[in-house]
Amino acid sequence: MRLQACLALLPVLGAQGLRIIHSNDDGWAELYTRSFYDALVASGHDVVLSAPAENKSGSGSLDADPSPRNTQCQYGSCSGNGAPIGRNASSPRLNWVNSFPATSMRYGIETIGPLFWNGQSPELAVSGPNVGSNLYLQVHFSGTVGAAVFAAKEHNIPAIAFSGLTGGTQAWNTSTPSAASKVYADLATTLTNAVIASGKPYLPEGVFLNVNFPEVGGQCAEASDFKFVLSRINVGLFSAPDVQHCGSTRLPFDTAVALAKGCYVSVSVGDANDKTTAPREKQAVVRDKLSNLLTCLP
């Protein structure tokens, strides 16, 4: 019910929706990313995809100008004609960059997106959903996170990184898309639209959200089976108190949310400077923005 209420708020934004730049680290032709792209477009947003030409998992925040691509892109998705960047000729908002995730986000924000937006910058940046989780220590090495952090840190664009535990890489044009690709796309769109519906500024300055979906299957088969939990990126044994939430000043560790029985999505507020947990003042802003969506762990 609550999720539907959030989605229902979207039409007030107008037919155009938001200018959203979208990247990932698994490659521009990976199905999880394409399913999310399609869901964002279906919900009214003006989305430009700018993602690596191939799988660049584990690249963290590496950033280097793209080099000529002389072999086919992932899954045969481009011919490899020697250009450093390219696009789908019949869907030009789908772009590949022959470099790292953070680089493809940089090109998306500075070069490719503005071509479609009358020279304007994106209003929001999203990354993923990654094939596989990005929890705790993985956050630092994740290219999915690296792309989102680039947007937040270098351009002060509100940014969200999404990852899903259910594995299984699939090409964008597979004839048997996995159930997880659709569920993750729906959940990511719900969270994105809730952030947008909370109004400007969409997120506090200098933070990003790190969102992890648990496995799809069994009792967690459909998007409506899942609940969102505010979390932190590390245990925080010696850290300053977190925001007061769910009767505590210590938010659950993202890994604890992932291990909890049930269908819980962890939503951590990350510091874009060092990819650790953001301070409680910034957590508080996100808690209040997402209050209709968040639940407490039992």
Ligand X SMILES: *[C@@H]1O[C@H](CO)[C@@H](O)[C@H](O)[C@H]1NC(C)=O
Residues in region 124-143 near ligand X by CB under 6 A: 131
Q: Which of 70, 71, 120, 173 binds ligand X (CB under 6 A)?
A: 173
Residues in region 188-227 near ligand X by CB under 6 A: none
**Do 234 and 253 form a contact (C-beta atoms < 8 A)?**
yes
Cα gap 219→181, rounded to integer Å: 17
**Quick check: 112 binds ligand X (CB under 6 A)?**
no
Question: Closest by alpha carbon to 158, among 116, 119, 109?
Answer: 109
Beta bridge partners of 221: none
Q: 24 or 283, CB closer to ligand X?
A: 24
Residue 202 to residues 26, 90, 146: CA-CA distances in angstroms? 26, 32, 20
SS3 category, 248: strand
**Quick check: 94 binds ligand X (CB under 6 A)?**
yes
**Quick check: 169 binds ligand X (CB under 6 A)?**
yes
**Quick check: 57 binds ligand X (CB under 6 A)?**
yes
**Do 260 and 219 form a contact (C-beta atoms < 8 A)?**
no
**Quick check: 233 binds ligand X (CB under 6 A)?**
no
**Quick check: 58 binds ligand X (CB under 6 A)?**
yes
Cα gap 80→234, rounded to integer Å: 41
Cα gap 161→212, rounded to integer Å: 8
Q: Which of 6, 29, 160, 165 binds ligand X (CB under 6 A)?
A: 29
**Quick check: 145 binds ligand X (CB under 6 A)?**
no
**Quick check: 172 binds ligand X (CB under 6 A)?**
yes
SS3 category, 255: helix
Q: Which of 11, 68, 76, 217 binds ligand X (CB under 6 A)?
A: 76
Q: Which of 175, 199, 261, 298 binds ligand X (CB under 6 A)?
A: 175
Taking each helix axis from N to C end, the angle separating 31-42 and 179-197, rounded to the nearest 10 degrees, works out to 40
Min. distance of Cβ 31 from ligand X in angstroms?
Answer: 9
Instruction: Please count the residues of this chain forming the interface with ligand X, following the rule CB under 6 A.
Output: 20
Q: Which of 67, 70, 79, 91 binds ligand X (CB under 6 A)?
A: 91
Q: 58 or 236, CB closer to ligand X?
A: 58
Name the one range near ligand X by CB under 6 A: 5-13, 26-34, 197-205, 280-288. 26-34
**Quick check: 63 binds ligand X (CB under 6 A)?**
no
**Quick check: 30 binds ligand X (CB under 6 A)?**
yes
Beta bridge partners of 278: none
Cα gap 193→9, rounded to integer Å: 8
**Do 4 and 102 form a contact (C-beta atoms < 8 A)?**
no
Q: 116 or 227, CB closer to ligand X?
A: 116
**Quick check: 53 binds ligand X (CB under 6 A)?**
no
Maximum alpha-carbon separation in the chain: 58
Cα gap 224→3, rounded to integer Å: 8
Min. distance of Cβ 41 from ligand X in angstroms?
Answer: 11
Name the one range near ligand X by CB under 6 A: 27-35, 101-109, 201-209, 263-271. 27-35
Residue 278 to residues 233, 245, 281: CA-CA distances in angstroms? 9, 15, 8
Q: By CB under 6 A, name the binding residues for ligand X.
A: 26-27, 29-30, 55, 57-58, 76-77, 88, 90-91, 94, 131, 169, 171-175
